[in-house]
Structure 1
Amino acid sequence: MASRPAARVQDSLMAPRTRYARTGDLAIAYQVVGDGPDDLVIAPGFISHLDWSWQEPSLRRFLERLAGFSRLILFDKRGTGLSDPVPGPASLEERVEDLAAVMDAAGSDRAAVFGVSEGGAMAMLFAAQHPERTRALVLYGAYPRVTRSADFPCGVEEPVMTAMLSGLVDRWGEGAGLGAWGPTRRGDTALRAWWGTLQRLGASPGMARRMFELYPHIDLRDVLPAIRVPTLVMHRRGDRMIPFGIGQYLAEHIPGARLVELQGEDHLFFLGDTETLLAETEEFLTGARPATSLGTTVLATVLFVDLVGSTELAARVGDAAWASIRDQFLALARDELARYGGHEVDVAGDGLFATFEGPARAIRCAVAVRGAAATAGLAIRAGVHAGEVERADGGGVSGLAVHIGARVMAEAVPGEVLVSGTVKDLVVGSGLGFRDRGVRSLRGVPGSWPLFAVAG
């Protein structure tokens, strides 16, 4: 077996070096990231592109977190991404051979395998055939079979799946399908542009169609009892692509498997509440809950700012002009964040998420961003809420207060800075004025919430 390659400067988290493993006459592209004590191989979903993956901030952060406690091995399946093209989609047996070849080239005798969506089938078959090389198995959004049958009622109706995938191929490369794969970010124009490019770089339309045609024929149910390695199954309750019942089926039929129910509806693993997913993965593989997942609970004010009409604007002016407008908006917003002591947490397409130590600063910052945007001919809406959040070591925050802040912003009309009743009560005596906007139900948040618009 090949010796482990020496660490190189190029193998940084931001720009890992792409290498090639040989399997027969084919070259399979792979990357090694991080220097943790144990190896972790990701078996990718239906398409991937090693270099392009690092250009999406949410995915980059996810991979960096995995590489923080492991030696992370990534690869593109044959016929996809940077690996050699092939006439048609590979069989599961061939994909297992590719996974083994990548491990050999990376000098990995034994590794945990993380199967994502379609890659779960490859990961499960590898674990069943090569238990001596599989330290553990992690499955996210995976399935042994995807279509419904009399003895598999949790599956997807085949005509529904066929129609959806056919429509995706007809618009291949345009960013279609994001509403199904990542519904919480369907309006994120930057993510949609990245998603469209991933489609074009990941596979040709013809290859994608042939891959989709194989989906109804995948059935690994008889393999599940033969998986005898520690297994963690994670599945989102509202997954739009692969029903939660399929995750339950996996956990019930893989001996000793543990099921973790994740909240949310995104199928893309790097969207939504990734903190729980990452924390469960790290604890399962290392035996210790990461400090980043435990975080520090603090009272903070969250601010969400969103450009109004960004989708229509992008469609009207084109991608290049829209990118320039977005950059201008972010520059204006960041100037005000610096002025009012805000901490930028994330940028999602046409919006910005930040935290503040005090609600009055957050409100004044939102008003200032609104004014600065107006001078540039742009309109925003903003939402402010205060509550307990979990601060992670990497600077991220999570918790119900974050979700409430996002939902408060969603209730705002163009040009409005909307705050929760909690925030209004906290800034009594600040000189800020408010107009009552009534009591609202916030999507996905229990209870009713009084909301107020900042006056002036």
Structure 2
Amino acid sequence: MAVPRPIATRYARSGDVRIAYQVVGQGPFDLVFVPGFISNLDLHWEDEGYSRLLSRLSTFSRLILFDKRGTGLSDRVDTNALPSLETRMDDVRAVMDAAGSSRAAILGASEGAPMAILFAATYPERTRSLVLYAGYAHFHKWVMDPARLQGFIDAAETCWGTGATLQNFAPGRLDDIRFATWWARFERLSASPTAAAALARMNAEIDVRGVLGSIRAPTLLIHRRNDARVDPDASRYLARKIPGARLAEIRGRDHPIWTGDVNRVADLIEEFLTGTHAPPDTERVLAALLVTRISDTARLGDRMWSERSQRFHETWRMLVGRHGGRVADRHGEVMISRFDGPARAIRCAAALREAAQGIGIASAQGVHVGEVEARGPPSGLTMRVAIQIAEHAGRGSILASRLVADLAAGSGLRFSDGGRVVLDELDDPLALVEVTSEQHLEPACRSRMPVAAEPSALTVRENEVVALIADGKSNAAIAAELNLSEHTVKRHVANILMKLDLPSRAAAAAFAVRQTGPDGP
């Protein structure tokens, strides 16, 4: 889905303070999004999850976004005299007035939920409906006790802007270098260290339990069952106290509304506010999953391995995007990406193999094609089979199911028989293929010349291997003569065929003979 970037940032006057806001979409009703602890209207669009959420919401509503006073693009305020919840709630009304919204659905996320609750109770005529994500009515009871709060404030005052608070909000994203870097900028550009500490103290005073029974707007509550920041019991309490409220508990641990299964959250909100939600074109689609494993084979030591591993993870994200894929999931040194076609997945795997070699680490990759859910991270049989294929792949190899080769016919990719493997998930052994090379087609405007590759394109070891191929020796015999594993020889053969743009071992043998015979150099 294309991300609808906001046209402009505008400012609403609320008392003596100006509140930054944006309006996105042209839906039949207004939806005001009240953000959590901190926010920054510009940075929201730089994060994939956040922009996807806002994109979804703006497809069925006119979405009104704003930064609360003291945060993001809105006016800074005196940290010694922070506004009350009531004053901040009035900011919602000021933004609605400036945006020309007389009545709206209100979405309050996390710390934004108490503001949304107070607004709905105070201005029922302006509240079409109420959605509370990871909301609470009393801070100390369901978010942090005084001791934990003081620890959070101490950390904020010394480490704010480094991304150190990520562990409090989204511990599942700590190993996601790209997200962690974005989070550090999110901290710095949303509030100063002093303001962040003051905001935390102000939030600790929140207690709107007394107004819950006054809410008359239809209310939906959404909470992740293992939320790392706000106890799920907070929403269960709201469900008991807000008349007619509905509670939807979903899977997940990371707290921010824009993390985890964002599409599930958007579906619930859309169905509640519109009575239905637009289904995807198909619930399940055919996709190619690439599972990449990396390992340390040189006993680099923890520090050097950590540096190289981090470098590869960053390269992985870049190459997956460059080859038209999507980063799907990551578990330590196992990375899963998703592609619309198997050829793209294979070409990305080849690029990743080369990148791993350049960084000085080992890779092994598996590719499988099958049906996956159209939305959310891949799961089910297709993913489990892809993971097991990657587990069977040797160092430096790209192993795929036979179906991948069948669907990639005509792509210029070449495969060799990879045997069969028995997987727990399948009744019958799965036929495998190994990627050997890719045929590089020259532009039609250039004359097609016979292969005349330079032997210098090969490494010393590869020249040894190709010479033995010319002698008619098998991979096993070459492995024995050069004191290598048979799998390493297979990898050398694959590299030779790819570098010389040759279709087979026989062609490689002919190449070696030409280089050493009377017609050779």
For Structure 1 versus Structure 2, the TM-score category normalised by the shorter chain is: 0.7 to 0.9
**Aligned counterparts of 2:84 and 2:14: Cα–Cα separation in 1:** 14
Residues 53 and 125 (structure 1 numbering): CA distance in 2 closer, same or farther, change over 3 Å? same
Aligned residue-pair number: 409
Unaligned 5+ segments in structure 1 are: 1-11, 149-153, 338-342, 441-449
Aligned to 2:418: 433
Residues 113 and 416 (structure 1 numbering): CA distance in 2 closer, same or farther, change over 3 Å? farther
1:137 to 130, 133, 142: 130
**Aligned counterparts of 1:406 and 1:143: Cα–Cα separation in 2:** 41
Aligned to 2:371: 388
Out of 423-432 and 261-270, give the one that drifted further. Answer: 423-432
Contact kept in structure 2, 1:112 and 1:135, CA below 8 Å: yes
Contact kept in structure 1, 2:221 and 2:248, CA below 8 Å: yes
- Amino acid paired to 1:433: G
Give CA deviations for 1:268-288 in whole Å, capped at 9, x if unaligned: 111111111110100111111
1:403, distance to aligned residue in structure 2 (A) = 6.9
User: After superposition, where does 1:3-402 map in structure 2 within 5 Å?
Assistant: 13-88=4-79, 89-148=82-141, 156-292=144-280, 295-305=282-292, 332-333=319-320, 337=323, 343-346=324-327, 353-357=337-341, 361=343, 364-365=346-347, 367-377=349-359, 379=361, 380=363, 382=365, 384=367, 387-391=370-374, 399-400=379-380
Higher relative contact order (CA 8 A, sep 6+): 1
Contact kept in structure 2, 1:332 and 1:373, CA below 8 Å: no
1:375, distance to aligned residue in structure 2 (A) = 4.8
Aligned to 2:457: none
Unaligned 5+ segments in structure 2 are: 297-301, 407-414, 435-486, 492-521
**Aligned counterparts of 2:130 and 2:422: Cα–Cα separation in 1:** 50
Residues 367 and 85 (structure 1 numbering): CA distance in 2 closer, same or farther, change over 3 Å? closer
1:85, distance to aligned residue in structure 2 (A) = 0.8
Contact kept in structure 2, 1:304 and 1:352, CA below 8 Å: yes
1:370, distance to aligned residue in structure 2 (A) = 3.5
Give CA deviations for 1:239-290 in whole Å, capped at 9, x if unaligned: 1111111121111211101011110111011111111111010011111122
Kindly report the root-mean-square deviation, in angstroms, between the aligned alpha carbons of the 2 structures.
3.9
**Aligned counterparts of 1:70 and 1:227: Cα–Cα separation in 2:** 22
**Aligned counterparts of 2:127 and 2:356: Cα–Cα separation in 1:** 57
**Aligned counterparts of 1:203 and 1:177: Cα–Cα separation in 2:** 13
Residues 327 and 235 (structure 1 numbering): CA distance in 2 closer, same or farther, change over 3 Å? closer
SS of 1:174's equivalent in the other structure is coil
Contact kept in structure 2, 1:50 and 1:76, CA below 8 Å: yes
Residues 75 and 400 (structure 1 numbering): CA distance in 2 closer, same or farther, change over 3 Å? farther
Residues 265 and 326 (structure 1 numbering): CA distance in 2 closer, same or farther, change over 3 Å? closer
**Aligned counterparts of 1:261 and 1:369: Cα–Cα separation in 2:** 41
**Aligned counterparts of 1:346 and 1:35: Cα–Cα separation in 2:** 30
Rg (Cα) greater in structure: 2
Contact kept in structure 1, 2:388 and 2:423, CA below 8 Å: no
**Aligned counterparts of 1:200 and 1:19: Cα–Cα separation in 2:** 22
**Aligned counterparts of 1:187 and 1:19: Cα–Cα separation in 2:** 36
TM-score w.r.t. the length of structure 1 is 0.77
SS of 2:234's equivalent in the other structure is helix
- Amino acid paired to 2:326: V
1:369, distance to aligned residue in structure 2 (A) = 3.0
1:199, distance to aligned residue in structure 2 (A) = 0.7
1:312, distance to aligned residue in structure 2 (A) = 6.5
- Amino acid paired to 1:84: D
Contact kept in structure 2, 1:370 and 1:415, CA below 8 Å: no
1:145, distance to aligned residue in structure 2 (A) = 1.2
Contact kept in structure 2, 1:231 and 1:257, CA below 8 Å: yes
Residues 54 and 334 (structure 1 numbering): CA distance in 2 closer, same or farther, change over 3 Å? closer
Aligned to 2:464: none
**Aligned counterparts of 1:182 and 1:402: Cα–Cα separation in 2:** 27
1:218, distance to aligned residue in structure 2 (A) = 1.2
1:439, distance to aligned residue in structure 2 (A) = 7.5
1:364, distance to aligned residue in structure 2 (A) = 4.0
1:55, distance to aligned residue in structure 2 (A) = 1.3
Contact kept in structure 1, 2:221 and 2:247, CA below 8 Å: yes
SS of 1:228's equivalent in the other structure is coil
1:409, distance to aligned residue in structure 2 (A) = 10
**Aligned counterparts of 1:52 and 1:233: Cα–Cα separation in 2:** 26
1:14, distance to aligned residue in structure 2 (A) = 2.0
1:104, distance to aligned residue in structure 2 (A) = 0.1
SS of 1:197's equivalent in the other structure is helix
Aligned to 2:483: none
Give CA deviations for 1:3-34 in whole Å, capped at 9, x if unaligned: xxxxxxxxx92243000000111111000111
